[in-house]
Structure 1
């Protein structure tokens, strides 16, 4: 789990004026994404809100999704670090040289914790995810590749067949459109997290062992 792809790296070294423009663009885009349907926000909207020209904006960011991804990057990196080296059950604990000396968390427990962390990310930043992950583009991001490899790793640890296919299926309930639909329908983050935890234990196994197998 040490060679997982990560979210995009920090921006390259830049001139002071370029750094100021970048900060204005990101601040304006975050306000617009939070206030309206992110898919309805245009590059012209962002340029006007930031007080810069279209040419200046396009020299730095080719499209709206690239701006949203830049905003998401720091939040995704923080979660990736917890998955790789954090305390259990989200992180591996002693499996990565940390923890408190107890047994490493079961795959289902780690998946349930991952689901909970992702619900927290979506609750705070779903407007950014909707802006960054339009259509098939979400499957080409470094962050999605990271989540997919992590979930496949847990499915493999649980002894399930075809973990590569299962990983995409287990990530599907985290689609930002579905999360927005559930929240708009009155579901709380706690209820969504509980449902996902039940899914994690039902597929990867809990006290009853992996799905489709008898427990110990």
Structure 2
């Protein structure tokens, strides 16, 4: 059975109750607007109006549009990580390590496809979030160890995660005309060869 993993996105610092309410309202407003008009059309003005606060509040809270996008991603990443740590199998504990590893790949591929525009809009602000990659790499490394894989598990874990990144998925699916199913089949074959 896999060892429990800590959430690596980091807990937000303690904040006043009104600040927490504003933050939640802003993130909810941004998520609603994004669902309706897409990431490209999401503006700080629109988020402020939707949340019923001034534009300055949005900038003070998130610093920039990229900061807002990164906060949305942090929230979604924390939910995904919670599923890995304590959600139902096969992504969560309780399944065979190989089943968990394959579920990880399918889930991560889907998450990155769903959030590609948001990840790109967050730019360097999200790209500097080493904790996210660290969590995924640690999870894969632990599963590889459970499966008895030998070698440099840190490198192998990183090599298995790389094809699930947005730039690679965009190249394969958007430009290489592969389907998600083909990409997932290829990733599954790669995992089986490593294991």
Other-structure match for 1:145: 134
CA distance in 2, matches of 1:33, 1:3: 35
Normalised to the residue count of structure 1, the TM-score between the two structures is: 0.68
Structure 1 counterpart SS, 2:38: helix
- Residues 14 and 181 (structure 1 numbering): CA distance in 2 closer, same or farther, change over 3 Å? farther
Deviations 1:133-176 (A, max 9, x none): x3595363432221111011122223322212222222111211
> In proportion to residue count, which structure has more helix?
2
* 1:6 aligned onto 2:5: no
- Residues 13 and 202 (structure 1 numbering): CA distance in 2 closer, same or farther, change over 3 Å? farther
Q: Does the Cα contact within 8 Å between 1:47 and 1:54 map onto a contact in 2?
A: yes
Structure 2 counterpart SS, 1:26: helix
Normalised to the residue count of structure 2, the TM-score between the two structures is: 0.74
Other-structure match for 1:178: 168
* Structure showing greater Rg: 1
CA RMSD, 1 decimal = 3.3
CA distance in 2, matches of 1:176, 1:29: 22
* 1:80 aligned onto 2:81: yes
Other-structure match for 1:46: 43
CA distance in 2, matches of 1:159, 1:72: 32
Q: Which blocks of at least 5 consecutive residues in structure 2 are unaligned?
A: none
CA distance in 2, matches of 1:33, 1:141: 29
